[in-house]
Structure 1
Amino acid sequence: MARALYIHWPFCLKKCPYCDFNSHVRDSVDYAHWQAALLADMRHEALLAGGEPLESIFFGGGTPSLMPPALVAALLAEAERLWDFAPGIEITLEGNPSSVEAGRFADLAVAGINRVSLGLQALDDAALRFLGRLHGVAEGLAALDVAQRHFGRVSFDLIYARPDQTAAQWQAELERALGFGTGHLSLYQLTIEPGTRFATMVRDGAFTPLDDDQAADLFDLTRAMTAARGLPAYEISNHACPGEESRHNLTYWRYQDYAGIGPGAHGRRGGRATVRHRKPENWLAAVAGQGHGVAEERALPLVEQASEALLMGLRLTEGIDLAALSRRCGLAEADLIDRDRFAFYQRQGLVWAAGERIGVAPGGVSVLDALLGELVPAGLVAS
């Protein structure tokens, strides 16, 4: 059963032009109404996904650092009542590094948050303006300092491979980021997602994304620099000191069960997938009418579970236990991986095998999508 809980807070002060997450801008929020609805959604999920103490909780968004600390405390108290907490539970909250939100950090720590992930996104004011961020570098670093004083574990995000960004520029920016001493960094290449304002701007010729070859060079530079400083990549875009990996995100990548509540939240429990209503108003109406925000719940065929577990697990540096996945899904290992193609790419140094585990080698990570298309049998992916 689920040992992780995801709570989605959908509201932001502004929609960033690169963002395709389920985030919304509203003039006002009735926090009492939202607290009651989130608690109802949580109780429904606990009836179906309970049974074991929670090992992680993640407040995502949107901008969860806009939540009143009292609301966070109420949700955590109910989660502990419904599931109980495992010793050393990881409780993460995503936040924007503004002075307003940093002012809540002390109270959020008292409420139970013990890990924060800050959306710094860049250490350059011009880049932050391009990315549509509301904070500047000085404000962001001040918020980081406050976070490091109040939380035992801190991570922050940066977006690189921005238009016209050079290797020298990114090297200097990343070197500065590594100097702040956090145990975790999420370093994402700028991706132009369909339906975003950036997609429209690119289509209209407002800017040109960085060339793929240049972006690949920055990716290699990122891996080399973080490894040299003791924060090796444990997933494509995530880097951590040993023991500082995001336990909650590892739940997703290791294809373990988790409960998801709030607008647009996904969940997976007992071989079933759940999806909540995406629009905040529709989710609220669903909770009022049926006691929960679920828009769709369906059984996951074993072959689909196997495909998803492979696609997620091969993102991890640790790879995946193919024999365990075979037993879990009742499929032969030959049905999970094309062994002939795997052997070919292993000779090229793009994948590795060690006992029952297989994984993608450093040289294959930058072409992971193409590799997956070659390694995972077409019938498995199509299903």
Structure 2
Amino acid sequence: MPPTPFNPAAPSAEPIALYVHWPFCVSKCPYCDFNSHVRADIDEDAWRDALLDDLTHEAAMNGGRPLSSIFFGGGTPSLMPPRIVETLIDAATRHWSPTHDIEITLEANPSSVEAARFADLATAGVNRVSLGLQALEDEALHFLGRAHDVREGLAALDVAQSVFSRVNFDLIYARPGQSEADWEAELEQGLSFGTDHLSLYQLTIEPGTRFATLVAQGKLTPADPDHAATLYERTQAMTAEAGIPAYEISNHARPGQESRHNLTYWRYGDYAGVGPGAHGRRGGLATLRHKKPENWMNAVARNGHGLQSEEPLAPEDRAREALLMGLRLGEGVDLERIARISGLTIEALVDGNAIARLSAHGLVRREGPQLSIEPAGMLLLDAILPEIVAV
């Protein structure tokens, strides 16, 4: 019997998450569009009002639902004026119904300037910080294009742990020339800080980046895939032993301390995105805000919101997104749920023969409607997904 077709207009009692994008950086960095992101001075009141208008529009589309998380991201959100952060939190918790344990996260660079604002941001309502340490070696930080050094980064981490109830920081491994012993020592140091969450990413060479150019010029040799796999396996073993096992391919947490906001993405829940360039998913619609700050501001002034587009997602697109996101999680996906939200049959979602074949090799596990990638399969996730995802 086919599942009940998904109705985007139907009201939902499922929690929603809110993403707020603050596009400004205070200095040039390798991750930003210099022309649209670097600002020395902004009209703070105008930005507060525009963000409130954009948020109000999203809330009118799906207000009243439980709000499980707010995430402030973008250029340098930890340099947002705390009064704007507080105003946005207050508005969001009026428009939606905050859960009793609502998670309010802010991304931060580990600089002394930003760390000096942590206490005020905590007072404003932020209860979790995600700190971009990226490495615990000065030479590696220089290679990665970071402005901070290890001393400054660890000082910021110390302030964060004294102010926020929950702290995450990230590290990048499988860097050129990094030995197994090097990474073990760095990860052991990272684990010694006692945070409840770690994001541990392998260095990837993305097309169009500075790293890709260096590789093409023969000035950079990426880590050998077998060596990178060894580092991944050591990462899983060391974090599990420390009580911070992986719950997603690159994210580790003590039980109960997983990122609730990111889990909304990975579990394919709805999330509202406000601010320049913010994406969102709302009742089967994909929303996108104007990326350039000036264009976004003009759109808000003209329309009351910064939307550039609001497009219905085809059933196949909803199913594909849910599978590709959810199979990154150790818990995997519920195929019956994905069939329900997409209107497709389970047989149309996944290739049963491929699942059976990969299960025999210990790479995939299916128990009734639950499908997950085994730990050994996570190493091969990019190759496995095209094999088993049929949409």
In structure 1, C-alpha distance between the alignment counterparts of 2:42 and 2:223, rounded to whole Å = 38
Give 2:269's aligned residue.
256
Select 1:152's aligned residue among 144, 162, 165: 165
Task: Tell whether the 8 Å contact from 1:17 to 1:198 is kept in structure 2 after alignment.
Answer: no
> 1:116 is paired with a residue of what secondary structure?
strand
Give 1:292's aligned residue.
305
In structure 1, C-alpha distance between the alignment counterparts of 2:62 and 2:27, rounded to whole Å = 34
Select 1:134's aligned residue among 133, 137, 147: 147
Task: Tell whether the 8 Å contact from 1:53 to 1:83 is kept in structure 2 after alignment.
Answer: yes
Query: Which 10-residue stretch deviates more, 251-260 or 45-54?
Result: 45-54
Task: Tell whether the 8 Å contact from 1:12 to 1:23 is kept in structure 2 after alignment.
Answer: no
Provide Cα deviations, 1:141-190, integer angstroms capped at 9, x if missing partner. 11111111111100001111111111110000000000000000001111
Query: Which 10-residue stretch deviates more, 317-326 or 237-246?
Result: 317-326
Give 2:194's aligned residue.
181
Deviation at 1:324, TM superposition (A): 2.2
242 and 358 in structure 1: CA distance in 2 versus 1, 3 angstrom threshold: same
Amino acid paired to 2:120: D
Deviation at 1:21, TM superposition (A): 12
> 2:157 is paired with a residue of what secondary structure?
helix
TM-score normalised to the size of structure 1?
A: 0.95
Give 1:325's aligned residue.
338
1:366 equivalent in alignment to 2:379: yes
Deviation at 1:39, TM superposition (A): 0.8
1:195 equivalent in alignment to 2:208: yes
Give 2:296's aligned residue.
283
Give 2:100's aligned residue.
87
Provide Cα deviations, 1:243-282, integer angstroms capped at 9, x if missing partner. 0000000000000101000111100011111011111122
Amino acid paired to 1:177: G
Amino acid paired to 2:99: A
1:350 equivalent in alignment to 2:363: yes
Give 1:50's aligned residue.
63
Select 2:253's aligned residue among 240, 243, 246: 240
> 1:191 is paired with a residue of what secondary structure?
coil
TM-score normalised to the size of structure 2?
A: 0.93
> 1:226 is paired with a residue of what secondary structure?
helix
Task: Tell whether the 8 Å contact from 2:32 to 2:75 is kept in structure 1 after alignment.
Answer: no
Task: Tell whether the 8 Å contact from 1:184 to 1:238 is kept in structure 2 after alignment.
Answer: yes
In structure 1, C-alpha distance between the alignment counterparts of 2:178 and 2:280, rounded to whole Å = 37
Give 2:115's aligned residue.
102
1:65 equivalent in alignment to 2:65: no
1:40 equivalent in alignment to 2:53: yes
Deviation at 1:57, TM superposition (A): 0.4
Give 2:129's aligned residue.
116
Task: Tell whether the 8 Å contact from 1:92 to 1:117 is kept in structure 2 after alignment.
Answer: yes
Q: Where in structure 2 are there 5+ consecutive unaligned residues? A: 1-11
In structure 1, C-alpha distance between the alignment counterparts of 2:36 and 2:267, rounded to whole Å = 26
In structure 1, C-alpha distance between the alignment counterparts of 2:165 and 2:118, rounded to whole Å = 12
In structure 2, C-alpha distance between the alignment counterparts of 1:126 and 1:23, rounded to whole Å = 29
Select 1:205's aligned residue among 218, 222, 227: 218
Provide Cα deviations, 1:49-99, integer angstroms capped at 9, x if missing partner. 212131100001122101111111111111112113111100000001111
1:13 equivalent in alignment to 2:26: yes
Amino acid paired to 2:144: L
RMSD after superposition: 1.7
Task: Tell whether the 8 Å contact from 1:232 to 1:239 is kept in structure 2 after alignment.
Answer: yes
In structure 1, C-alpha distance between the alignment counterparts of 2:320 and 2:124, rounded to whole Å = 39
206 and 124 in structure 1: CA distance in 2 versus 1, 3 angstrom threshold: same
Deviation at 1:315, TM superposition (A): 0.4
240 and 87 in structure 1: CA distance in 2 versus 1, 3 angstrom threshold: same
Q: Where in structure 1 are there 5+ consecutive unaligned residues? A: none
28 and 209 in structure 1: CA distance in 2 versus 1, 3 angstrom threshold: farther
Task: Tell whether the 8 Å contact from 2:64 to 2:95 is kept in structure 1 after alignment.
Answer: no
Select 2:228's aligned residue among 188, 209, 215: 215
Give 2:348's aligned residue.
335
196 and 127 in structure 1: CA distance in 2 versus 1, 3 angstrom threshold: same
Give 2:283's aligned residue.
270
352 and 15 in structure 1: CA distance in 2 versus 1, 3 angstrom threshold: farther
In structure 1, C-alpha distance between the alignment counterparts of 2:224 and 2:36, rounded to whole Å = 29
114 and 21 in structure 1: CA distance in 2 versus 1, 3 angstrom threshold: farther
Task: Tell whether the 8 Å contact from 2:56 to 2:95 is kept in structure 1 after alignment.
Answer: yes
> 1:273 is paired with a residue of what secondary structure?
strand
Task: Tell whether the 8 Å contact from 1:20 to 1:195 is kept in structure 2 after alignment.
Answer: no
Provide Cα deviations, 1:91-143, integer angstroms capped at 9, x if missing partner. 00000111111111111110000000000010001111111111111111111
Deviation at 1:20, TM superposition (A): 8.7
